[in-house]
Amino acid sequence: MVEPANTVGIAVNPTPLLTDELDIVIPTIRNLDFLEMWRPFLQPYHLIIVQDGDPSKKIHVPEGYDYELYNRNDINRILGPKASCISFKDSACRCFGYMVSKKKYIFTIDDDCFVAKDPSGKAVNALEQHIKNLLCPSSPFFFNTLYDPYREGADFVRGYPFSLREGVSTAVSHGLWLNIPDYDAPTQLVKPKERNTRYVDAVMTIPKGTLFPMCGMNLAFDRDLIGPAMYFGLMGDGQPIGRYDDMWAGWCIKVICDHLGLGVKTGLPYIYHSKASNPFVNLKKEYKGIFWQEEIIPFFQNAKLSKEATTVQQCYIELSKMVKEKLSSLDPYFDKLADAMVTWIEAWDELNPPAAAAANGKA
């Protein structure tokens, strides 16, 4: 049986990486006591907490953390009518934190994710590994059988084209989980006691043209490179679907990263996922998505963006038009989702005007 790491007695990291360039985004409905465990690794960073549900509820944050907290009233005040694109009563609300951040990098984590241990028993600094992933190139155009060739102790294997060894910028770092795997409801129901105890010491680039199921509870990305596409869709209250927020964002960002020549990595770091959600509740949220994904995934596999789409925003608007044209026949929800995608980009650009980004060296 795998257990979380014990971080009591571990000093706060005296030399944390990118403290002035990274925000940590946490969606929550409860007190953030889990941050005590993460203190050695996360306390030096600024937190953006997006409170879901009842805005009158007081959220406790452990002392010593620098943070800003937004609830639904804040979202409505800041975005006005465009707040309709931010999901309610669903962890998809986290993407509001991506929008209001002014940092280059984002790390997002759920409040039921604890510090993991590597096979030697050492506590895993997940954020540090994400940063290393993002600062190293990716190799999406040719698969390296020794996994990430940029890691210490690895390299490109014999037969790897020298013309591709420079790699491309990494936009997304997708981490994994020990203990409770990220399963859908049917798999949870047939494997209720299954736990992930395998720690695979590997990072790899997801090849160009290959989609993947992105999980948002242990995720980091370069906001400047891909931020406007990290929209977690319309989920939760008032919507016919849930638990596909991160999946939707993952399909969108992968198509756009492939088009723009950016990389997506998966593997390390691991977190310890402490709590299994109710499979019956999950099934109610997921059941339409389970059917729809058999149509949605081929749609993304065949999505081709134009040569004129040279920015993330342009790519995303093109994708929204394709969603309206190709998926609205599947369910009226997708017509509404396509409109929300456009609203999201409009809201993003209002809070992150291109001129200001250029002045900050972000464009």
Strand, helix or coil for residue 46? strand
CB 343 within 8 A of CB 84: yes
Write phi, then psi, for 207 (nearest 5 degrees). -60, 155
Q: Is the pLDDT of residue 361 over 80?
A: no
Q: Which two tokens stand for residue 231?
A: 């929209």
pLDDT of residue 158: 98
> Per-residue pLDDT averaged across 314-324, rounded?
98
Nearest of 310, 312, 266 to residue 98 by alpha carbon? 312
Total residues found in the chain within this entry: 363
Domains of the chain: 22-351 (3.90.550)
Q: Report whether pLDDT(330) > 90.
A: yes
355 pLDDT tier (thresholds 50, 70, 90): low
Residue 276: pLDDT band (50, 70, 90) is confident
pTM here is 0.96
User: Can you spell out the DSSP letters for 175-210?
Assistant: EEEEES----HHHHHH-TT--B------EEEPPTT-
The owner of tokens 């937004």 is 70
Within 8 A by CB and 6+ apart from 363, the residues are 354, 357
What average pLDDT does this structure show over 28-57? 97
pLDDT in the model for residue 363: 41
- % pLDDT > 90, the chain: 96
Sign of the alpha-carbon dihedral angle for 194, 195, 198, 203: positive
Average pLDDT over every residue of 103-129: 98
Average pLDDT over residues 251-262: 98
